[in-house]
Amino acid sequence: MGDLELLLPGEADVLVRELCSFPLREMGSGGWNQQHENLEKLNMQAILDATASQGEPIQELLVTHRKIPTLVEELIAVEMWKQKVFPVLCRLEDFKPQNTFPIYMVVSWVPEIWERLERENRGKWQAIAKHQLQHVFSPSEQDLRLQARRWAETYKLDVLEAVAPERHRCAHCSAEASKRCSRCQKEWYCCRECQVKHWVKHGKTCVLAAQGDRAK
């Protein structure tokens, strides 16, 4: 880390290791607020490191300790709390908090991140869209084949059916399905007619998925 240090390297490592997900009922609690404060310290240290051109040690720690998914889950949980819990809380007759700071911390967190991202990317929206059009949403035939192979390896049917045993739905009409595409084994249909109608959309993906399975 740079000459300007809010956290020592060992302190940053400990704070990153301790990051965890909180259930909705713990939003705004003492533990949640402590973690929020730790995140603020990590964020400020990351800014100091970037200003001093010292690389991205905080980001490296987050990746090393696999905490990126934890941060994403927390962001989603905060947004859900704001939409589902906070309105109900405000309607309760005995909701007369003596300290509203925890509520402010929860409610303000996502907007702060939104504003920072908006500030960093202001004036770049068209450039970002053009970059994604070229590099993300226009894959080559080889890229499609590799993606199909990765999907086949990741979403193994026997595993998916074990962890999500819900009833299958027809890919065309959403009715309960009992027949599966014989080529790729990934799409379900309620009848032959729906499978034929859906082939216009499913055809290319089906061929690529089947080729990916054979290439393994």
Taking the C-alpha atoms of residue 165 and residue 142, their distance in angstroms, rounded to an integer, is 33
The Cα angle at residue 114 between residues 108 and 115, in degrees rounded to 5: 85
Residue 161 has pLDDT above 60, yes or no: no
Listed in sequence order, the residues at least 6 apart from 167 whose beta carbon sits closer than 8 Å to its beta carbon are: 176, 177
pLDDT digits (tens, 9 = 90+) for 132-159: 777 766 778 887 788 777 767 655 555 5
Residue 94: pLDDT band (50, 70, 90) is confident
The whole-number pLDDT of residue 189 equals 93
Taking the C-alpha atoms of residue 156 and residue 154, their distance in angstroms, rounded to an integer, is 6
pLDDT digits (tens, 9 = 90+) for 202-216: 888 887 776 655 555
Residue given tokens 């907007």 in the structure block = 111
Where in the chain does DSSP place strands (E)?
179-180, 188-189
Region 102-116 average pLDDT:
66
The larger pLDDT score, comparing residue 177 to residue 110, is at: 177
Where in 115-186 does DSSP place strands (E)?
179-180
CA 116 distance to own-chain centroid: 18
> Percentage of residues in the chain with pLDDT exceeding 90?
14
The whole-number pLDDT of residue 202 equals 86
- 3-state secondary structure at position 176: strand
Region 158-174 average pLDDT:
69
Widest distance between CA atoms in the chain: 69
Query: Of 37-51, 98-112, 144-158, which has the strongest mean pLDDT?
Result: 37-51
Residue given tokens 């009833």 in the structure block = 167
Q: Any bridge partners for residue 180, and if so which?
A: 188
Residue 195: pLDDT band (50, 70, 90) is very high
Q: Tell me if 77 sits within 8 A of 22, measured CB to CB.
A: yes
Residue 11: pLDDT band (50, 70, 90) is very high
Look up the pTM and report it: 0.51
Residue 19 has pLDDT above 90, yes or no: yes
The whole-number pLDDT of residue 117 equals 64
- 3-state secondary structure at position 185: coil
The whole-number pLDDT of residue 47 equals 80
The larger pLDDT score, comparing residue 25 to residue 158, is at: 25
Taking the C-alpha atoms of residue 149 and residue 101, their distance in angstroms, rounded to an integer, is 49
Residue 98 has pLDDT above 60, yes or no: yes
16-52 burial code (b ≥16 CB/10 A, e <16): beebeebeeeebbeeebeebbebbebbeebbebbeee
The per-residue pLDDT of the chain, averaged, comes to 79
